[in-house]
Amino acid sequence: MHTKSVLVIGGGIGGLTAAIALGHKDYRVEIIEKDPDWTVYGVGIIQQFNVVRAMGTLGLLDAYMAEAYGFDRTEMYNPGGQKIAEFPTPRLAGPEYPSNAGIRRTDLQRVLATKANELGATVRLGVTAKRFDDDGEGVEVTFSDGKSARYDIVVGADGVHSRTRAQIMPEAPKPRYTGQWVWRYNFPQPDDMTGIRIFVGQRGAGLVPLGKGQMYMFLLSEEPEGFRLALEGSAAAMRERMAGNAPQIVALADQVTDDASVVGRPLETIFLDGPWHKGRVVLLGDAVHASTPHLAQGAGMAIEDGLVLAEELAAAADPEAAFAAFRARRFDRTRFVAMNSVRIGESQMGKIEHVDVPALNRETIALMAQPI
């Protein structure tokens, strides 16, 4: 394909990964990001073995692991704090690299942005796409700053509330609030913390090592639709929701003291069963398959999307064929993650029958170990 100029809308994990993968294949990439400060909240993120493998494919593995904490085992605990399962995960990036990693989101963004810049991508901040004029040969994009430019294709990587999706597919379903929130907070990492610890039950939680003396907690809670979290009092609100959890989680409550360090977000999901593109504009990541964090694969799916899209664009005769092949390769895998992540949450809230979380995690590990 002679496609060479690409606009990526969204400077998050999916957009940056797509820019890197396209840059490796000599595409000229421009990224626009609506946040003028390009901020990322400072808690961590778990990246599973398929993401570590993807970092190797992107040529980022050593830079990535220099900022991350690697581990090879996952432990699961019941609401009483007793260990109920422990299993290893595969080292897909090679025997010298760990299977999983915990990393601060700020560090991950810096690693990805540095690589994208090295490969020639340009970034414009505080800018959105107001209009797409697709004539079948290219897309003329009008921006919020009054400028316009023409691109061979446009990639919408602008998240669960994607404006790109709304512009090209106004009939597409809207994101759905699941009924849960996720709360995150950083803590000192204890010496015996060498892998992720997941606490199952009505209020799921987990502890993820980040290295550099830190770990982070994620905590799930049920909240009414329309619930809003004010900055003042957010630490107290998180402490309240830690009560009644496993003893290992409750024991950390007195360390949750800084309102500004609490990150609380509603869990919203969407999955497009229909097309993932229109003309020369294609969507990826949370814009088409936003999942909840119960299987810790949301970011992983976006990262894999970027790799697969670049591969299909380089191999296909035209964008239509590339986008169709991209969706075909990604559909079943992303649907498994999106649907089963929501199932775990619905089980926690008592909306459906009990889900065997350890068994589902093993099934997920087996699937994610397969080539993309």
Supply 220's token pair.
Answer: 């799930």
171 — pLDDT class (breaks 50, 70, 90)? very high
Tens digits of residue pLDDT in 322-351? 999 999 999 999 999 999 999 999 999 999
| CA angle in degrees (0–180, nearest 5) for 77-82-85 | 50
Could you tell me the domains of the chain?
Answer: 5-71+101-175+269-368 (3.50.50.60), 177-267 (3.30.9.30)
**What is the pLDDT at residue 200?**
86
pLDDT at position 201 is 77
pLDDT at 42: 83
Burial class (CB in 10 A: 0-12, 13-18, 19+), 28: middle
pLDDT(19) > 60: yes
Q: Which residue type does 137 have?
A: E
156-175: average pLDDT: 97
The bridge status of strand 139-143 relative to strand 129-134 is antiparallel
Average pLDDT, the chain: 95
The reported pLDDT for the residue numbered 55 is 96
Question: Cα(290)–Cα(338) distance, rounded to whole angstroms?
Answer: 7
Ranges of beta strands (E only) in the chain are 5-9, 28-33, 44-47, 69-71, 73-77, 83-88, 100-104, 122-125, 129-134, 139-143, 148-151, 153-156, 176-188, 196-199, 205-211, 214-222, 263-271, 277-278, 281-283, 290
d(CA 60, CA 302): 16
Token pair, residue 225, equals 């639709």
> CB count, 10 Å around CB of 228?
7
Rounded alpha-carbon distances, angstroms, from residue 52 to 31, 49, 63, 65? 24, 5, 12, 9
pLDDT of residue 326: 98
Please name the residue that has the structure tokens 């909306």. 351
Q: For residue 1, is pLDDT > 60?
A: no
Instruction: Tell me how many degrees the CA angle 74-346-81 measures, rounded to the nearest 5.
Output: 40
- Please, are residues 125 and 36 in contact by the beta-carbon 8 Å criterion? yes
Looking only at Cα atoms, what is the longest distance across the chain? Answer: 61
* 3 contacts 152 by C-beta, under 8 angstroms: yes
Give the pLDDT band of residue 2 (cuts 50, 70, 90). low
Copy the structure tokens of residue 365. 């590990």
For residues 185-208, give the mean pLDDT.
Answer: 91
Cβ of 362: how many Cβ atoms within 10 Å? 14
Q: Which residue has the tokens 């500004």?
A: 260
* Model pTM score: 0.95
Tens digit of pLDDT for each residue in 117-130? 999 999 999 999 99
Cα 369 to Cα 48: distance, rounded to the nearest angstrom: 10
User: DSSP states of 339-359 as a string?
Assistant: HHHHHHHHHHTTSSS---HHH
Q: Which of 269, 268, 7 is nearest to 128 (CA)?
A: 7
